[in-house]
Structure 1
Amino acid sequence: MEGDIANMGQFIGAGIAGLGTGISAIGVGNVAANFLGGALRNPSAAASQTATLFIGIAFAEALGIFAFLVALLLMFAV
């Protein structure tokens, strides 16, 4: 009985941590949308902000990967 409750807690925690991957996808979309909005307002400044776009996308994706790894650790750690 105690093992079943511990297993359930692992999977619930993994599910909650797995939400971070979806939330990071929303973050990447927001970064790209804000870049495009700014580039359409001022096209001459868009070229200088491309590096910032890629850095923002990389950070948002890294958070999603970390959340995925935490979910895997919660599911398969002994």
Structure 2
Amino acid sequence: MRKAMALLSVLMPVLAMAAEPAQGETLKQGLMYLGAGLAIGLAALGTGIGMGHAVRGTQEGIARNPTVGGRLQTVMFIGLAFIETLALYALLVAIILLFVK
């Protein structure tokens, strides 16, 4: 199931590019849409993996030494905020690609 979903997510932009272009749509616009989708998609993938590693490390640390759980959790939330900022920057880049001519 995972492999099918991964394959579908990789092939979806290819299928979209294979369709007949709408009236007035140029190759440049199509590539901007593709670039915006890839920018936010790859950023979401990377930040999701990073957040998973951060949470896993925090949970392992709390399991080993429960007395420092509050400190580790605070540091984890700060780190997650920095990681999420990267996804927001990618969203900003995607929006710029879509709306700047």
TM-score, L = length of structure 2: 0.66
Aligned to 1:6: 28
SS of 2:26's partner is helix
Preserved CA contact (<8 Å) 1:14 1:71: yes
Q: Cα RMSD (Å) of the superposition? A: 1.5
| 2:44 equivalent to 1:59 | no
Residue 16 (1) aligns with residue 38 (2): yes
Which 4+ residue blocks in structure 1 deviate beyond 3 angstroms?
Answer: none
Partner-residue secondary structure (3-state), 1:51: helix
Percent of pairs with identical residues: 32
Aligned residues: 76
Q: CA deviation at 1:18?
A: 1.2
Larger radius of gyration: 2
Which is bigger in relative contact order (C-alpha 8 A, separation at least 6)?
1
Task: Give the unaligned 5+ runs of structure 2.
Answer: 1-24
Matched, 1:28 2:51: yes
The partner residue of 1:48 within 71, 81, 86 is: 71
Following superposition, the deviation at residue 64 of structure 1 comes to 0.7
